[in-house]
Structure 1
Amino acid sequence: MITREATEQDLKVLLEFEQGIVLAERPFNSTLRDGEIHYYDLLQLIKSEDSLVLVTEENNEIIASGYARVKEPGNDYSNFDRYAYLGFMYVKPEHRGKGVNKLILDELINWSKSKGLSEIRLDVYSQNESAVKAYEKAGFDSLLVTMRMKT
């Protein structure tokens, strides 16, 4: 397995991964509209100096993805002025449980540190227990739970 920066030539596969993420998240989020949804501007993320999109390949097949991007907290009360936000974490179902996500996560954390960022954040549905456990194992702590009510 190798992990490398994504290129524009990877977009077709990455767009398929994005729909895989949407499909996996639908059971956790009843507010998602039907049909195709796009969470990310993948081409912009690939081209930006303030982001890193990675893919992992095995036998010349892309099997996983993830990104980190530099963000500002959007408030004046945080004790940091920039942080790394991680997203687009996807591993093809047949490759899950092999540590592939950890490979990407480690590379994204290293990139974030190389940018001088001491704060790294990501979002995960609290009901997605396997993902929560994986991120906790990697050193992440839960910070905030978003609550909602439909009236």
Structure 2
Amino acid sequence: MHTINIRKAHPNDLEKLLEFEQGIITAERPFDPTLKEGKIHYYNIEKMISAADVELLVAEIDSEIIGCGYARIETAKPYLNHETYAYLGFMYTNENHRGKGVNSRIIEALKDWCHSKDISELRLDVYNDNSPAIKAYEKVGFKKHLINMRMAL
């Protein structure tokens, strides 16, 4: 069994991270009819790598990048009982390495970073019909909190 190493993303990881971003978009297209056709981008990955308020991590096995995820510090709404929280996103595991706990290892490392920044609240978005992702997030402790609804006119 190979060891999964979690580390901070570097600029030389950009090509692989852009590939992962397209993997996420491909997986999410069936859940979101509002996405534009053709190639799109969710993230400014190059900026995220160097941003002070973002921790972008990659998972590796034998120096091969197999997954990623980030935490971004956000200001909470003034009526909430916490001033800041961490928004998690860009959670991706290469299909050949799913089921090995990669996502949970990345989330654990992001939680450690959040603790070091005195963050006590984590949030993320997941499509309502994406049962495998919901199950994975619930497995590491997330609970459903709010449903975002939409209507096309």
TM-score, L = length of structure 1: 0.96
Does 2:98 correspond to 1:91? no
SS of the aligned residue for 1:25 comes to: helix
Match among 103, 106, 128 for residue 105 of structure 2? 103
1:37 Cα offset (Å): 1.1
Q: Does 1:39 align with 2:46?
A: no
SS of 1:98 mapped into structure 2: coil
Q: Which runs of 5+ in 2 are unaligned?
A: none
Q: Does residue 6 in structure 1 map to residue 9 in structure 2?
A: yes
1:145 to 126, 144, 147: 147
SS of 1:2's partner is strand
What is aligned with 1:78?
A: 80
Q: Does 1:27 align with 2:7?
A: no
Deviation (angstroms), 1:9: 0.3
Alpha-carbon distance between aligned partners in 1 of 2:150 and 2:87, rounded to the nearest angstrom: 23
3-state SS in 2 of match to 1:146: coil
Q: Which residue of 2 aligns with 1:130?
A: 132
- Residue 118, structure 1, aligned to residue 125, structure 2: no
Root-mean-square deviation (Å) = 0.9
Measure how far apart 1:81 and its partner are. 1.0
Identity %: 52
Deviation at 1:137, TM superposition (A): 1.4
Q: Which residue of 2 aligns with 1:65?
A: 68
Moved >2 Å (runs of 4+)? none
Pairwise CA distance, 1:30: 0.7
- 2:10 alignment partner AA: T
* Matched positions, count: 150
Q: Distance in 1 between matches of 2:75 and 2:86?
A: 9
**TM-score (normalised: structure 2):** 0.95
